[in-house]
Structure 1
Amino acid sequence: MEKYAHIFDTRRLNTDLKKRSLRSGAVTLGSQALMFIIQLGSTMILARILSPQDYGINAMAMTITGFAGMFSSFGLSTATVQRSDITHEQVSTLFWINVLIGFLITLFTAVISPAAAWFYKTPELLWVMLTLSLIFVITGMGVQHQALLTRQMRFFSIVIINVISTLAGVVVAIITGYYGFGYWALVFNLLTFVSLNTIGYWYFCKWIPGLPRRHSGVGAMIRFGSSLVGSNVVNYFPRHLDNVLIGRSHGSDALGLYSKAYQLLMMPITNLRNPLTRVAIPSLSRLQDNPEQYRDYFLKCVSLLAFISMPLVTFMFVFSDQLISLLLGTQWIGASEIFKILALAAFIQPVASTSEMVLVSSGQGRLFLVLSVATAVVTCLSFAIGLPWGPKGVALAYALANYLLFFPIFYYTFKNTAITLGHMAGAVYKPVFSSLLMGGTCVVLVVPFMDDLNNLFWLPAGLFLSAAAYLVSFAVFPGGLDELRESWAYGKLVFERNK
């Protein structure tokens, strides 16, 4: 019997997949709540220590290192997770491919660092990028270990790794920021996080790669991974070209305000969406042969994501001035209008991102690439159209592009599945209208009285009223009360099993 057979054989996970997914989702969501608190606390502290210019320089560096990072895993982590059967020899070969790619990307990033500093007209960027180039070698050594943990649905181990790494990175950033290191605090934060992540994956996975083998049968996995890389690279441009254009045309201060508004808005959304996606993709991959169960599981994911994210974004839209003042400080109030415009896009973004769950879990890498190209073209054009009006114009154009793309993307995503646009609409209509009713209630009953940004009474009052208005509105819709009861029952079940 193969030494690591227990690591690669996942057939036992197909037994009681629903309960495993529920438990894994609960653990991951709980960890994300903790990480959100850590990130929020660090944001409140660092935003008062560092300047918009510091964040702008960091954002400039991340647009380039982030692009290079698209090639770091080369989609091979997803290929390992998605594959029904896999061997030690195959994963070992993929491991060494990831290490080699990481080393090459580090060299490439170091070489282009002077050009990046010239492009942005920011000399400080040179040494920032040279330092950040190290993350690719470090990340490459942990890609397959993380994939194996995900494949085994060992999400609690991943949770421990992420929480410890995040907390350590935050502590390093706060200490270095306090002692006047400026934008370097953000660089040290990322290096600490990435290093501890890789160490943690090795510690928990207990798998040691062997030597690469030429005929190990990884060709199909590399082709699948390369399709995902192509899709991710294409997706990267619409997600980061706005930062490139704003940084080049309007400087680090304007980019700092824009990027911080986007980061603050996406912080809670990412902490909701990412754990759900990590749990959903391996679960959906194992339901490919049962179209009805696949459809029902996917719609549950969409419904859950919409139920939480849409009212949350609506609340942030209505109380944007108060949130910016409280979380970042009054020196960041210029980011408030950008924050509000971006919230229009964020209202549907979490649900829109679920198309990736279907395309990846069903192995439709080529369609994923085609749709990614179409999305990139439309979004990048919107950035170019909005750029003359500065960060606000870019934000508004981006929001409009998101709504324009929503239905066409899902039409083609569902074409070869048992899911329809009607199913999708049925899963989200209650959260959509309940959130709008909630927002209208707050605008009428709370906003007219918020004349002092420093009066902290209105945020908890608005939060209480928002929650009450949302739940009442949701319960009024047909089947809404039953869904709330079911969610409550699931919550109790998860709590009892994780005591």
Structure 2
Amino acid sequence: MSTQKNQTSEAKYYDYFNTNHLKSNLKQRSVRGGVVTITAQASKFILKFGSTAVLARLLVPEDYGLIGMATVVVGFVEYFKDLGLSAATIQRAEINHKQVSTLFWINLGVSCLVALIVALLAPAIANFYHEPRLKKITLGLAINFIFGGLTVQHQALLRRQMQFTSLAKIEVVSMTLGVFTAIIAAYSGLRYWALVLMLIAIAISNAIGVWLACGWRPGLPSRNSGVLKMLAFGGNLTGFNLVNYFSRNLDNVLIGRRWGSQELGLYAQAYKLVLLPIQQINNPISSVALPTLASLQSQPEKYCRFYYQAMLSISTLGMPIIGFLFASANDVILLLLGEQWLETVPIFKLLMPAAFNATIGVGMGWAYQSLGNVGRQFRWGIVSSMLNAVLFFIGVRWGAIGVAAVFGLSRPFFLLAGFTYCFAQTPLKLTKLISTLSMPTLASIGAAIILSYIKLVLPIEINTLMIVLIDLGFYTLLYLLIWILLPNGRKTLWEMVQLSKVLRQR
């Protein structure tokens, strides 16, 4: 009877597990997915920038600092709700209803446990920072874990089936509801609680949206479902995420502990603004690239060709944004955040090398995970995290600006070492990657240097918005001009223009 029931469930949800129908038009699906997800991220980018500009004028650096203190710990334990099992579901060639159901209950059980642990840690977090307000903030953020655990496998199945339109709609609607919640709360004088309520609203609306979009419903967990290999995959990936998160957030802990919420608020806001545009590009392209690469892992030639094309696309979009933000940092900060945040400008500029490298650093994760080499990724994470920790302990002596300096200026060396180790024993070649990325890199840096020099020798005293728009237009022209003047630049740029026309038609 049980076997018959499992077979019935397997047949009912077969479309969510089988991916053979995707392979016949994989390229078209990838292209359409890229267009949809990038469009969604553009909408989210506008929402985030708009909300940042509004909330920065309603809140003070201390409010952001308080949330930054709490989210360091909360964000760390959040990785346990996923356990890398969403990536395992996407990466695996074949899965079934029993496996996904078992993974669902593992995710949900761990998420509830994590929520309880975070709630119990709330007094300790408040005592560590000598900030009693953090106790209630942490308790409020603990709620998110339960809703997160409910969505892990549903989101993974939607990505596995390349249903990017549904995922994009959910993300945009959730972000919109969260932003409006935060603005209303901030106008009502709730201060830092506005940021807490925004995160809770996003988590709840996202969970509801995912369950409505994905028709799969979990069955009972099974001991003999064959998920051990998937758990091993997820364990290595979770291990990497944890050590990587530790190294990326130790800076916040050290600044908050030694210099307080005001200094941390400046650093956290600068860091957020630096990475915000990159996340809007990396996240959608990654959501398309990872399942596509996973489906091509048995075809090395096609795998490499898609990988380099994806890396060229992500760098062409991301690098010029970072170059422009560096050249116009003072005016951008003034426009978005106001005069009270101008102290973030030097921190903002020192973090730019990290953001520049982040535009392509995501490619390491694609290679590791799509080829199943998450054990190597975990080992690299341990080494790089230890080195980051040493740098942060050195830099914190000079406050937020010292931490920004050591982190930003060290990133190019980490990037080169990381890709060298990542590509070992794979069909990917570092020389080919460098050649692929040379044009957007040189054009972005060159345009930023020229624009910075022009702004220095020819300052303009007009409306800040007009200055930013003029800078953006001039930077774009410089970027395109330098690209065209580079060897084979005109040909490569024309090919990308033709590809963009195809994307719009599809």
- TM-score after normalising by structure 2: 0.97
Is it true that 1:11 corresponds to 2:20 in the alignment?
yes
Offset at 1:457? 2.5
Distance 1:271 1:438, change over 3 A: same
**Does the Cα contact within 8 Å between 2:353 and 2:412 map onto a contact in 1?**
no
- Cross-structure match for 1:357: 366
Is it true that 1:24 corresponds to 2:4 in the alignment?
no
Percent identity (aligned):
39
**Does the Cα contact within 8 Å between 2:74 and 2:118 map onto a contact in 1?**
yes
Offset at 1:478? 2.0
Alignment partner for residue 37 of structure 1, among 23, 31, 46?
A: 46
Q: Distance in 1 between matches of 2:311 and 2:214?
A: 30
After TM superposition, the structure 1 stretch with the greater mean CA deviation from structure 2, 443-452 or 52-61, is: 443-452
1:350 is paired with a residue whose SS is helix
- Cross-structure match for 1:275: 284
**Does the Cα contact within 8 Å between 1:326 and 1:454 map onto a contact in 2?**
no
- The amino acid of 1:370's aligned partner reads R
Is it true that 1:166 corresponds to 2:172 in the alignment?
no
Q: Distance in 1 between matches of 2:451 and 2:495?
A: 27
1:71-470 map, 5 Å: 71-450=80-459, 452=461, 454-470=463-479
Q: Distance in 1 between matches of 2:233 and 2:483?
A: 41
Offset at 1:440? 2.1
Offset at 1:452? 4.5
Q: Distance in 2 between matches of 1:359 and 1:5?
A: 28
Alignment partner for residue 77 of structure 2, among 63, 68, 73?
A: 68
Structure 1 unaligned blocks of 5 or more: none
**Does the Cα contact within 8 Å between 1:34 and 1:163 map onto a contact in 2?**
yes
- Cross-structure match for 1:52: 61
Q: Distance in 2 between matches of 1:261 and 1:199?
A: 32
**Does the Cα contact within 8 Å between 1:325 and 1:454 map onto a contact in 2?**
no
Offset at 1:380? 1.3
Total equivalences in the alignment: 497
Q: Distance in 2 between matches of 1:450 and 1:32?
A: 34
After TM superposition, the structure 1 stretch with the greater mean CA deviation from structure 2, 486-495 or 440-449, is: 440-449
Map Cα deviations across residues 373-409 of structure 1 (whole Å, 9 max, x no partner): 1111111111111010110100010012212211111
**Does the Cα contact within 8 Å between 1:325 and 1:453 map onto a contact in 2?**
no
Distance 1:453 1:359, change over 3 A: farther
Map Cα deviations across residues 113-147 of structure 1 (whole Å, 9 max, x no partner): 10000001111000000111111111101110000
2:82 is paired with a residue whose SS is coil
Q: Distance in 2 between matches of 1:217 and 1:438?
A: 54
- The amino acid of 2:100's aligned partner reads V
Question: RMSD of aligned C-alpha atoms?
Answer: 1.1
Q: Distance in 1 between matches of 2:306 and 2:249?
A: 31
Offset at 1:443? 2.0
Q: Distance in 1 between matches of 2:484 and 2:156?
A: 40
- The amino acid of 2:393's aligned partner reads A
- The amino acid of 1:247's aligned partner reads G
Q: Distance in 2 between matches of 1:143 and 1:399?
A: 32
- Cross-structure match for 2:3: none
**Does the Cα contact within 8 Å between 2:311 and 2:437 map onto a contact in 1?**
yes
2:464 is paired with a residue whose SS is coil
- The amino acid of 1:133's aligned partner reads A
**Does the Cα contact within 8 Å between 2:353 and 2:411 map onto a contact in 1?**
no
**Does the Cα contact within 8 Å between 1:28 and 1:156 map onto a contact in 2?**
yes
Q: Distance in 1 between matches of 2:42 and 2:464?
A: 26
Alignment partner for residue 503 of structure 2, among 481, 494, 498?
A: 494
Offset at 1:446? 3.0
Offset at 1:425? 0.6
- TM-score after normalising by structure 1: 0.98
**Does the Cα contact within 8 Å between 2:147 and 2:204 map onto a contact in 1?**
yes
